[in-house]
Structure 1
């Protein structure tokens, strides 16, 4: 089977070429950024050609402006490009894209250009803790009082808010920490989508008794082993809403907080259900296994659907469903999301009004339709009330149901700046049976202590 090679590993191997391209350029779509401190998403076209805005209309066109945008070269540009094209047609606002490398080198470029006063009109950067560290009050346009910001979900707004001021709009759709499942296997065993962890374990047991693989492990791509632990944070927050804040201060830890420890306990409970070769299975291998019904479930970020689409097409992609990492109560069944990268306006730009006009347009249903016509989203949008197109992946519709019900929250790393670097290895040890949930939680607390000390936080 030919591989598309869409797996991006934790080594942060990024593109080294920095190229300038106009918004109408044909830059290759690769990965979606914005997973603050989480493995970047491999996002390909998985789409049709843009057809939104074909009718040439001058309604609502402004006097026009030329804007510049600095963006990670690994981002998927198809959807953004389509909205830029439509904005130029309708409002006369042209956006010229300049790409930068990703990873720590890209972070340094952003920081250097901000400090030197050479930032583009629009900066595309992470949402959450790493954005807050950029000192946004000094560099970015305050959007707090713009009426159209009310079109964005409050959970998203929190991720781009610093000292009660809001600075960004989302550049793409969200990603969700989910358990993908093969619908054919669920139909075969007459299983229902679980709303509790016990129901999920019961489904896994049924599949195992049928002689099939209940859970696909892909630990040859180490970051994938974290997804259950990280994706459980909606449930942690539901039980202990103060945990992230207390963890940031160092007064709460995973090992001694029952709701947080439960995330590691859940991971430990999955041990009997993995494929025998889970340590040798890669991200791409797991896509194959799930699409070919060689395993029933795969805990992963939702952008994996793009890889399955590229490998097997629309029919196969729509045989994959998704549900949130279940909690222990069906009454509050919700999903953990990773906020996309955001657009931030340069406070020192000569085109502040045009930037605001572009931002206002970008989050309208018309603009989102243009985005989706060029690039099918692999997760829900942060814009309130937006109706996904009919041809969106079935699993994204399932994810959207959590959003519409208000049953979603951001991942832990959007609520605290402290995240240890060794979580993938710790989770791998746990899944492999080399440690226990309690010891794994303690190891992660120790790992986070190192990170907190490096950040200058007063942790104990």
Structure 2
């Protein structure tokens, strides 16, 4: 797992060279990585003729940079990868069965971290990479995603987006609107847009996970006492005043018709048309969506904070990163560790991420591209950025609990904000009981 040809000092010098060369902003793909990293930094050529089995949720391993990394691994090592993609609704049960010894375990797993892997008993089943040489090359955000019980449990290898509100700059210019700086200014912007016949915000209510209530919740659970209270049962959402502000924001947006008439029926498939048509001015989303899913002209859009009740000046959410974990009980453990070292080598990951729109996961990731939206809003993002904590660290958290918020938004529901939060607490408690920490 150690460095092959480049010492820690030389590795740092390479980073300094790259920054001095003006690569820090990554405004466009930079093939100078081939000059900076002309040969492997780590020693990963320790095994040949091996076949490693990798499990992941379909279709996660069809992302272009993962396909490219796998093909490069096969080509440069002579080893083979057996890629098994499992439907999302079957994944947890199948992997839990493997952990329990009911079926053969994979050598490597592609998964998200944090509480998402609690039920798989990570301390007993996944390799601890804390002492791996490549850990020093991870960005702070990547380390946050990879930590489990104080250990680096896997290698983040994913595109890193920044989430907030994407907005149509042409519409804002047409109606002389400034990017809002507070919750009050955001609501006033929505009112102005509505008065001009523009629907302020596209919210695909039929796609419940896209209510994205974790965005404001991240800032709330940065308070470790709140996070621990939620996780040990001393607190529920109904006990947290900011949560009432959050769900009331959704109610206000619905009652004032800032989401249009059909938000309950709007879904993921309508996002592209909604943003392209100009009928909607804004949408809660992540910057890279404009380059991975949007079919229109991405340059028409900017990125501003998500104003969802709290915090007062809005928020941006950091990425949720997929990472590769290794079955530490695998008969092919050495080969699996070499595979991870291969992926963590800047000689390889820059080739895989070349031309991909993403913030860097590695400090020496210079071949990917920061989105223009990120670069334009960089100073604002720095002030109002929050790592993804709620989705990653709250036990029993589920985006699908936003179904309670959706019910609360309906006119005539008779629900109070406290009713809504108690319903969310009940669903989370049931989930925690079904999937206790092992």
Query: Which residue of the partner structure matches residue 283 of structure 2?
Result: 298
CA separation of 1:389 and 1:204: change in aligned 2, threshold 3 A:
same
Picking from 300, 303, 323, the partner of 1:342 is 323
- 1:414 deviation in Å? 0.9
Q: Aligned partners of 2:113 and 2:436: how far apart in 1?
A: 22
2:164 to 163, 174, 178: 178
Q: Tell me, what secondary structure is at the counterpart of 1:418?
A: coil
- CA deviation after TM superposition for structure 1 residue 350, in Å: 4.8
Q: Partner residue of 2:182?
A: 196
1:276 aligns with 2:254: no
Aligned to 2:426: 446
Question: Distance between the aligned counterparts of 1:166 and 1:200, measured in 2?
Answer: 39
1:207-262 Cα offsets, whole Å, 9 max, x none, are 122221111232233332x22x2211233235x34222111112112222122322
Partner of 2:21: none
In structure 2, which of residues 210, 221, 224 is the aligned counterpart of residue 237 of structure 1? 221
Secondary structure in 2 matching 1:296: strand
Instruction: Tell me which residue corresponds to 1:32.
Output: none
Pick aligned residue for 2:136 from 139, 143, 150: 150
Could you give the per-residue CA deviations for residues 62-100 of structure 1, whole angstroms, max 9, x where no partner exists?
3543352223231133211212333455x5263514223
The residue that corresponds to 2:4 in the other structure is none
The 1:183–1:337 alpha-carbon spacing in structure 2 relative to 1, beyond 3 Å, is: same
Residue pair 2:158, 2:322 contacting (<8 A) in 1 also = yes
Whole-angstrom CA distance in 2 between matches of 1:443 and 1:243: 19
More displaced 10-residue stretch of structure 1: 106-115 or 249-258: 106-115
The reply to whether residue 264 of structure 1 matches residue 247 of structure 2 is: yes
Q: Is 1:317 the equivalent of 2:301?
A: no
Partner residue of 1:12? none
Cα distance change on mapping 1:122 and 1:296 into 2, 3 Å: same
Q: Provide the C-alpha distance between the structure 1 equivalents of 2:163 and 2:390, rounded to a whole number of angstroms.
A: 12
Task: Provide closer, same or farther for how the CA distance between residues 136 and 308 of structure 1 changes in structure 2, counting only shifts above 3 A.
Answer: closer
Say which SS state the counterpart of residue 215 (structure 1) adopts: strand
Structure with more of its chain in helix, by fraction: 2
Name the TM-score, length of structure 1 as normaliser: 0.74
- In structure 1, the gaps of 5 or more residues are 1-47
Match of 1:10 in 2: none
Bigger Cα displacement from structure 2, 282-291 vs 158-167:
158-167
The higher radius of gyration belongs to 2
State the alpha-carbon separation in 1 of the partners of residues 252 and 137 from structure 2.
40
Could you say which residue in structure 1 is the equivalent of 2:8?
A: none
Q: Structure 1 pair 383/198, CA: closer, same or farther in 2 (3 Å)?
A: farther
RMSD: 3.5
So what's the TM-score if we normalise by structure 2?
Answer: 0.78
Structure 2 distance, partners of 1:103, 1:112, is 15
Residues 1:123 and 1:221: Cα distance change in structure 2 (over 3 Å): closer
Q: Distance in 2 between matches of 1:138 and 1:399?
A: 43
Mapped to 1, the partners of 2:179 and 2:366 lie a distance apart of 23
Stretches of structure 2 that go unaligned for 5 or more consecutive residues are 1-28
Paired residue for 2:125? 139
User: Aligned partners of 1:336 and 1:262: how far apart in 2?
Assistant: 18
Whole-angstrom CA distance in 2 between matches of 1:81 and 1:402: 34
The CA deviation at 1:343 is: 0.2
How many pairs are equivalent?
Answer: 397
Shift of 1:119: 2.7
Structure 1 residue 292: Cα displacement: 1.9
Distance between the aligned counterparts of 1:388 and 1:182, measured in 2?
28
Match of 1:219 among 179, 201, 205: 205
For residues 280-321 of structure 1, the C-alpha deviation after alignment (integer angstroms, 9 at most, x for no partner) is 322222321112211011123556435643x33xxx123232
In 1, distance between residues paired with 2:376 and 2:335? Answer: 36
Identify the residue that residue 287 of structure 1 maps to in structure 2: 272
CA contact (8 A) 1:177 1:301 kept: yes
Quick one: structure 1 residues 95 and 232, their matched pair in 2 at CA, closer, same or farther if it must change by over 3 Å? farther
Instruction: Give the secondary-structure state (helix, strand or coil) at the position aligned to 1:179.
Output: strand
When residues 121 and 398 of structure 1 are mapped into structure 2, their CA distance, relative to the original with a 3 A threshold, is farther
Paired residues of 1:71 and 1:100 also in contact (CA < 8 A): yes
Once residues 436 and 110 of structure 1 are traced to their aligned partners in structure 2, the CA distance between those partners, rounded to angstroms, is 39
Closer/same/farther in 2, CA of residues 80 and 145 from structure 1, 3 Å limit: same
Tell me if structure 2 keeps the 8 A contact 1:53–1:86: no
Determine whether 1:383 maps to 2:366.
Answer: no
